Each structure stands twice: as structure tokens, then as C-alpha cells.
Amino acid sequence: MRVAIALVAAVLVVGVSIPGEATRLRPEVTVSDDSIRLGDLFADLPSGADRVATRAPAPGSSVVLDAQFLNRVARVFRLNWTTDGFDDQVVVHRASQVIGSAAMTDALLPELSRHLPVARIDVIFDRPDLEVHLPVTSVPRIRVEYLDFRALQQRFRARLIVGSGRDLQRIQVSGRAIGRMEVPVLVRFVRPGEAIEGDAIAWLETRYESSHSDIIRSEAELIGKTPRRAVPLNRPLRHRDFQAPRLVDRGDLVTVVLQTRSMTLSTQGRALDRGGRGDVIRVVNTQSNRTVEATVTAPGRVTVGPFAAAIN
């Protein structure tokens, strides 16, 4: 209000005269730019009589112009209007485009995803009613100027730049960022030594924790594996609790296969280690008594390359 009165006082020096028919007051009006004009306050102005009366409130805000202020405006511009009492007033609303929490979340997600390696992140602001009002003509841009994320607390603080040019605003926001992910779980008991099949697996949505780096995230990481020990059903699973099914035990007699492009040779050996498919174990050749490293490929079967190194 002080700004409005000051602007009108400045107009008094100019001494603009706008004669004409009696004008009527508009009790309530919405403006879209940063000025309140005479035509916003008074109806039936003479042609060409519209002038800037005062400054508009901030976007999304309102101001009440009382009878005393309106009388001053009428005197400054010599309008044919006088108040009948102190109850006369005009409520002026400033139109705006609202930037709310949804748009702020969209701006924050790319930055938060650098800290939370999951497909879904729920952002919960400390102030759920947080919003920024921009002029209707402003470009509603949002940029993250600064972000601090604390993984253990799942909390963030950020500074956002909203708008552009002279309408630019910097705001501080804070809240929680909770990562959500779908992980495979077992829905039926699988004994240690039994290979896991697809019908034993379902999916569960769970909250991501910084301690979840060992969590199994894909079905492919489970299929064909076997539990090292009994694991709970319908719970996230960890890599360390599973292994490839044991195809060779220590002391087993195995077929050692040497395969090249032109020939395949085989001999008998004895396993010095236990292992599952793809594991590299030590095998001693029962004829030469030399030890080589071999890859487990099937139950009782291992493979060595053409340049397998004998180890003593």
C-alpha cells in the first residue's frame, strides 16, 4: 500500500486532467502485468483516459485499495468520481502461473538419480504446499543450482532457480528422497544344492538403502543358482547367499577335456577343489600326476585350454 500511495503522490506533481462522465468503481479485478491501470479500477472511463494508476502486487498476491487511496487517484487524474463512504474499496488480484512441487520434483529427479541408482524416486518436501508464482508472461524454467544429498538419512537440500530474466527467483527446498526398486524374491523354498527355476521367483517393490549394493536385482542373477543356506521367502536376496550349483566336489574323479579347433582330447583327473558351472578349479591328472587349472562345464566334467599351464 505504501508503494501505491507513493506512486500516486508522484502523479500529483504531473497534474493529469481526465474530464468526462461519472465513473463507476470496479469492486474486484484481476490484472496480469505489473501495473494497475485506471480502467482496472473504474468503469466507463472516457476514451483515451486509461493511465497507469499504481504498481500491481506480486504475482499470485492481492491488494486492497481503500477509499482514501481511491479518492487520491480520482483527484490526481481529475476523475468524475467521489466515494460515498469509507466502505468503498477495490480488491486487485495479480494473475500468475504457479510452479508447484510437481514441477520442482521433475527438476530434482535427474540430479537425485546420480545418488540413487533406481528407476523410481519418491520426493517428499518438508513444505508440501511449497509453490512459486511467476508472471503469466514469464518462461517457467526450473534449474537446480545446488544439491546436497545425505544417503544414510535419505535427505536433500537444494537451491532452485525458477523463472528467467528479471522474473528469476532463487528458492531453498529440502526434504526426503526415497528410492524404490523392484527386486526378485523366492516364493517357494529352494534347498541348498537345488538349482533355482523361474517358477520359484516373484517380484517385490522395496525401499532402496545405501546398504543394498549386494542386493540381487535381476531374475538372471538367480536362475540356475542355488542357496548356500536356507533363505527367507518374499524378502530381498543378496548375492553372497547364493552360488552356482556344485557340479564337482573335492576328490571327485572328473573327465578333463582338452579342445582345440582341430581335435578334442580327454583324460581322467581328480578334483582338488569343489565348484559349480564356470568356476575354475585345480585338477590333478591321474596319469601324469600334474596339476592344471580347469573350468567346470558339467557334472564331473572340466575343460582346459590348449595352453593350460601345469602347476605343481
CB 237: neighbour CB atoms within 10 A?
A: 24
Query: Predicted confidence band at 2 (pLDDT cuts at 50, 70, 90)?
Result: very low
Rounded to a whole number of angstroms, the CA Rg of the chain reads 39
Strands (E), 26-119: 28-31, 35-37, 42-43, 52-55, 62-66, 89-94, 97-99
**Contact present, 69 and 42 (Cβ < 8 Å):** no
21 pLDDT band (50/70/90 cuts)? low
Q: Which three cell numbers stand for residue 242?
A: 547364493
Output the DSSP codes for 264-295: EEEEEEEESS-EETT-EEEEEETTT--EEEEE
pLDDT tens digits along 174-224: 999 999 999 999 999 999 888 899 999 999 999 888 666 788 999 999 998
For the chain, the structural domain boundaries read: 2-95, 98-179, 181-243, 246-311
**What CATH number has the domain spanning 246-311?**
2.30.30.760
Residue-wise pLDDT for 55-113, tens only, equals 999 999 999 999 999 999 999 998 888 887 778 999 999 999 999 999 999 999 999 99
- Give the tens place of pLDDT for each residue, 219-248: 999 998 999 888 999 999 999 999 888 889
pTM: 0.64
- Judge contact between 159 and 172, C-beta under 8 A: yes
Q: How far is CA 8 from CA 1, 5, 27, 62, 145, in A?
A: 11, 5, 19, 18, 40
CATH fold, domain 181-243, is: Type Iii Antifreeze Protein Isoform Hplc 12 (3.90.1210)
| pLDDT, tens only, 86-99 | 789 999 999 999 99
